[in-house]
Amino acid sequence: MSNTQLVDFFGLLIALGLPAYVVLRFPWWFITIPVAAFIFWVAIWGTGVLLNDLIPERDNAILDVIWVWFGWIAGLVYAMVLFGLRCVLPDLWSYLIRRLGKEKGK
Task: Quick: pLDDT tens for 68-100.
Answer: 888 889 999 999 999 999 999 888 888 888 888
At residue 28, the pLDDT reads 86
pLDDT tens-digit map of 34-71: 999 999 999 998 988 888 888 888 776 777 788 888 88
**Cβ-count burial 14-31 (b if 16+ within 10 Å, e if not):** bbeebbbebbeeeeeeee
User: What is the C-alpha separation between 35 and 24, in angstroms, rounded?
Assistant: 12
* Burial of 80 (C-beta count, 10 Å sphere; 0-12/13-18/19+): middle
Q: What's the pTM? A: 0.80
pLDDT band at 29 (very low <50, low <70, confident <90, very high): confident
